[in-house]
Amino acid sequence: MGKAVLIISVISFFILNYSCSSKKGAVPSLEETGYPTLFTARQIPATQADTLNISPYRIQFPEGEFNSPVKFEILTGDPANFRAKAPAGNLPILAFAFRATNLGTNEPIEKLTEPITITVNDSNIVAKSNFFNITQNGQFIADSTGLKVKPGEISKPISSLKEGWVICSPGIAY
């Protein structure tokens, strides 16, 4: 009798734990999709233009982007974890995502009214480096909209905060 109660208790625990922690159709978090490390967080003032500089990232926020102060976070991941799905000839060199929270409502911000601009400086960036959006299932989607690349620097406007990004460079020894 004692073993049966124990087995039923363990099964009940797992069933309850699973049903409470997994929402059917829930969108995976950025941490779950490859960006587990909080690189930095900063409060961005309401209505003001601002720039966040923390090497290798520079993010420019246009004036009036946010109606309330925002907590803005940069999350990073290990580029090696993205190699298996990278398009042929592309070596991931940086993996990052952004998370923004409206401090007035405590709600996440997923879409920006005006794009922010990210500039990344890294010695592995070359003229043919690529910028990829990473879908929630890890697929690479090339995104060259507004992309500017020169050796050592890549820059791009971003308006969605629902996915992460990987910068890849060709011609780097694996």
Which residues, in sequence order, are CB contacts of 166 under 8 Å at separation 6+?
Answer: 79, 82, 86, 92, 94, 95, 132, 134, 140
Q: Are strands 148-150 and 140-142 parallel, antiparallel or unpaired?
A: unpaired
Phi/psi of residue 123, nearest 5 degrees = -65, -15
Asked whether 80 and 92 are in contact (CB, 8 A), the reply is: yes
| Domain 27-169 fold | Chondroitinase Ac; Chain A, domain 3 (2.60.220)
Per-residue pLDDT of the chain (174 residues), as tens digits, is: 555 443 444 333 333 333 333 333 445 588 787 899 999 999 999 988 999 999 999 999 999 899 999 999 999 999 999 999 999 999 999 999 999 999 999 999 999 999 999 999 999 999 999 999 998 888 899 999 999 999 999 999 999 998 899 999 996 554
- Partners of 41 in beta bridges: 73
Domain boundaries along the sequence of the chain: 27-169
